[in-house]
Amino acid sequence: MNSLKSAFLAVLVSATGMAGAVTTNLGLLSAGDTSFGNTFYSSGTFTDYYTFSIGANSSGAAGTLTDSDLSFFTRDVDVTKIVLSGGTLASAMSDGNADDGFSFTGLGAGAYTMALSVNVGSGFLTSGNYKGTIHAVLNATPTAPVASPAPEPADFAMALMGLAGVGYMVRRRSAR
């Protein structure tokens, strides 16, 4: 029975002491959503890093984010800031209000690192998490050239021939 108590205590201590910060590669982003997220078992401030690439046909990255609020069964998790660096950026870009989604535009093809600053509140034997999606913002596709609305000279010639034909028929009938 003593060993069972020790094992339970060891599991409890290890579960509450897990930091939970991650570094994850999301790969090459496309127009479809790529999911990311993390679960925290202890309170504190953490920074999670997500690396991704965007291709030549993309001009940015955008996404959504939801985090858990304090309740009896979850820890309060708050993503306070998102910082993007790397790729073609001369300096890091940040979004301090991730609750309304995030968007980084004017990006060129390359590899980027997105850092999420996360505050995790206290709770007893509970966890909290955040989940998000990210996708590439594709460049506008060029449209096909539109034909000019002005008629071609051949169209005028055909119209004049038609009018001349109708005029000839009217004159011929009226002569009878």
In sequence order, what are the residues at sequence separation of 6 or more whose Cβ sits closer than 8 angstroms to the Cβ of residue 99? 65, 67, 79
- Is 51 a residue whose pLDDT tops 90? yes
- Extended strands (E) in 31-95: 34-40, 44-54, 58-67, 77-86, 93-95
pLDDT digits (tens, 9 = 90+) for 116-134: 998 888 876 688 888 999 9
Report for 9-13, 46-50, 64-68: range of highest mean pLDDT:
46-50
Least reliable range by pLDDT among 2-11, 96-105, 156-165: 2-11
Task: Give CA separation, 80 vs 65, 97, 133, 176, in Å.
Answer: 11, 7, 17, 93
**Among positive and negative, which fits the CA dihedral 153, 158, 162, 167?**
positive
Q: Measure the CA angle with vertex 26, ends 43 and 65; round to 5°.
A: 50
- Cα Rg of the chain, angstroms: 32
CB-count burial class (<10 Å; 0-12, 13-18, 19+) for 30: middle
Higher pLDDT, 45 or 67: 45
pLDDT digits (tens, 9 = 90+) for 4-31: 444 443 444 344 444 456 789 999 999 8
- Is 88 a residue whose pLDDT tops 50? yes
